[in-house]
Structures are given as structure tokens and as C-alpha cells.
Amino acid sequence: MPQDISHGKPIDDAPGVIGVITPATLRHHPEAGAIEYPPLPDDIASNPRSGFVRPAGWFRDGEARLELEIGCGKGTFILEQSGASPATNYLGIEWQYEFYAYTADRLRRARRGNVRMLHADASEFLRWRCPDATFDVIHLYFSDPWPKAKHHKNRVVQHRFLREVWRVLRTGGELRVVTDHDELWRWDADHFAFWIRAGDVVIDSTDEYDTSVHKSAPAAMEGLPRPAFELAAFTPPEWVGEGCVVGTNYEKKKCVAASKEPHACVLKKLP
Ligand SMILES: C[S@@+](CC[C@H](N)C(=O)[O-])C[C@H]1O[C@@H](n2cnc3c(N)ncnc32)[C@H](O)[C@@H]1O
């Protein structure tokens, strides 16, 4: 758990307006009434699509472009990006309650009408809650590296995750990834290598890919086109200042301060 990141200031995640209430969040806010995210139905095991919700329906303009940020932390990226592109809807997901509420409160105070925050595990959300072709872009910035081998299963990038990313992206949609963690980048590249066009270069290293992470790939890729994604260069958003790639809190604190340039790439969904 993070320490008191709000420094004692009252926080309002504005359920029903900014915050999307899950059954778990309701335990913190039993008074919140907006049930936009019902519990998983009983037949979820036999009917995996029965838990799908319609994220576009959480926004005033349900037909607009929709982008997702996974792991918003203190929320600087989603706050700035949603202000720079008011015609696009943004959904942020954060599984640590304090960060979720802190970011939702920032968005509420900035009166963002095109952003919602969801308190949930992003991988589970994509797999069990998200219909096909939901998002135009998925942003994954400075994901937790989980450095110990026994924790690698907690990393967001997994073959199963990439399968869901492909499914929930619209055609031509993009997964944008940035990290400063060399070993996590290697892991990402080892996974991406399976999904992109042979010969694409993902990493700035001459090492061979580590095939040990590929064991589960064939199962996760079953029935999908190969390649499933095209690799592209990462372009920073225009509002991001000199010396940054995405301008998140983490990047400013850890990369800019240490003069470390993060790794970045884009995976574009192929039909
Ligand atoms: C290192 S922080 C980076 C935060 C932010 N992207 C930044 O660059 O400042 C990673 C964030 O991702 C969140 N996170 C990690 N795994 C997640 C998951 N599966 N679902 C939702 N949030 C997740 C963590 O709680 C944390 O806030």
C-alpha cells in the first residue's frame, strides 16, 4: 500500500461520474449507488462472455474514440492526455485503491467530462469484462517490474494478456509501452517477439530472445492471425515536455532525475 499520498486532504472519487464502482469498491463506499459494474454472473465458467460490460456506455459520448491507460499511478498522464484530446474518451484502471481514488479526485477537480477511472485489475478486466474491439489505444507506462522470478507471473505483459489486447483493440489499434526497467523490457521483447512480424527489432540489444518465456505462447495465440501486431516506433504526445517520453509521475521522478532514457515501442493490431 502506498503511504498517504493525499497528505490528509479529503479525496472524492466521484462514483458514477468519474469513478466506476466495482463490487469490491462498494465495500469501501457502501453508500455509492451507481452500479455500472455488476458482479460476475454465475455462469461465467461455462459462458466466458457473460460478464462483459460496455465501457463506452460509461461516457457521455459513447461513440467517441476510447483509450485505456493501465496503471495510472498518480494520474498525470491521463489528466494531461484527456485535456489535450477532449474529443476522445479515456478510461484509467488502477488496482491500488489509494492511487485509483487520488487520480479520480484529480480528474474530478479538473472537471474532465471525457474520463472515467476504474478500480480493478487490468488483466482480469480485459479478459472477463471487455467486449471485442473496444479500445483504439491501450497505454502501459512504467508497469511494475516484479523483479523476483517467483513474481514474474504478476507482470502485466503475458501471452494471455497480449491475446486479450489483440481482441479488445479495434483494427489498427495500438498498445503503447514504455519502461525504464531493462530486465522488464527484455521480458516484454521476449513476449512481443512471438506476436510481431519476424525480423522486427524490438529491443536495443543484440542478445538472442529468451525462449524460456515462450512456452505458453502457442496456446495463447491459437486462432489469431500471425503476425497479430506490427511493431512501430513510439512518438511522444505533443503536450509532453522536453526530455520526457510520456511525462508520467514515475518518468519525471525516476528517469529524468537519473538522466535515463526509457525504452518504448508500439504494437499495432493487424487484422
Ligand atoms: C510503477 S507504477 C507507474 C504509474 C504510472 N504509470 C506512472 O508512470 O507514473 C505502476 C502502477 O501500475 C499499477 N498496476 C500494476 N499492475 C496493475 C494491474 N494489473 N491492474 C491495474 N493497475 C496495475 C500499480 O498499482 C501502479 O500504480
User: How far, in Å, is the centroid of ligand 1 from the Cα of 199?
Assistant: 31
Residue 88 pLDDT class (50, 70, 90 cuts): very high
Residue 206 pLDDT class (50, 70, 90 cuts): very low
Alpha-carbon 42 to chain mean position: 27
What type of residue is 192?
F
pLDDT at 207 over 70: no
Site to probe by mutation for ligand 1, drawn from 143, 146, 165, 188 as the one with most ligand atoms within 8 Å of Cβ, is 143
User: What per-residue confidence (pLDDT) applies to 209?
Assistant: 53
Closest ligand 1 atom number to CA of residue 125: 20
- What's the pLDDT tens digit per position in 132-166? 999 999 999 999 999 999 999 999 999 999 999 99
Closest ligand 1 atom number to CA of residue 251: 8
Query: pTM to 2 decimals?
Result: 0.94
DSSP-based three-state secondary structure for 69? strand
Q: Is 95 a pocket residue for ligand 1 (Cβ < 6 Å)?
A: yes
Q: Is 141 a pocket residue for ligand 1 (Cβ < 6 Å)?
A: yes
Other beta carbons less than 10 A from residue 150's beta carbon: 7
User: How far, in Å, is the centroid of ligand 1 from the Cα of 139?
Assistant: 11
As beta bridge partners, residue 264 has: 178
User: How far, in Å, is the centroid of ligand 1 from the Cα of 177?
Assistant: 13
Angle at 69 between CA 14 and CA 93, to 5 degrees: 45
pLDDT at 26 over 80: no
Other beta carbons less than 10 A from residue 136's beta carbon: 18
Q: Is 2 a pocket residue for ligand 1 (Cβ < 6 Å)?
A: no
Q: Whose CA is nearest to atom 13 of ligand 1?
A: 71
Lowest mean per-residue pLDDT among 53-57, 169-173, 199-203? 199-203
**pLDDT cut 90: percent of the chain above it:** 76
Residue 128 pLDDT class (50, 70, 90 cuts): very high
Q: Is 247 a pocket residue for ligand 1 (Cβ < 6 Å)?
A: no
Distance CA 151, CA 19 (A): 29
Contact criterion met (CB below 8 Å) for 263 and 173: no
Residue 205 pLDDT class (50, 70, 90 cuts): very low
- What's the pLDDT tens digit per position in 229-261? 999 999 999 999 889 999 999 999 999 889 899
Q: Is 158 a pocket residue for ligand 1 (Cβ < 6 Å)?
A: no
Closest ligand 1 atom number to CA of residue 122: 20
User: What per-residue confidence (pLDDT) applies to 195?
Assistant: 92
Our CA dihedral for 8, 20, 144, 246, rounded to 10 degrees, sits at: -90
The more confident residue out of 60 and 207 is 60
Domains of the chain: 19-269 (3.40.50.150)
- What's the pLDDT tens digit per position in 178-198? 999 999 999 999 899 889 976
Rounded average pLDDT over 25-32? 70
Give the residue numbers annotated as catalytic, written as ranges. 144
5 backbone dihedrals φ, ψ, rounded to 5°: -75, -15
User: How far, in Å, is the centroid of ligand 1 from the Cα of 223?
Assistant: 30
User: What per-residue confidence (pLDDT) applies to 198?
Assistant: 65
Average pLDDT, the chain: 90
User: How far, in Å, is the centroid of ligand 1 from the Cα of 211?
Assistant: 27
What type of residue is 30?
P
Q: Whose CA is nearest to atom 4 of ligand 1?
A: 73
User: What per-residue confidence (pLDDT) applies to 87?
Assistant: 98
pLDDT at 199 over 70: no
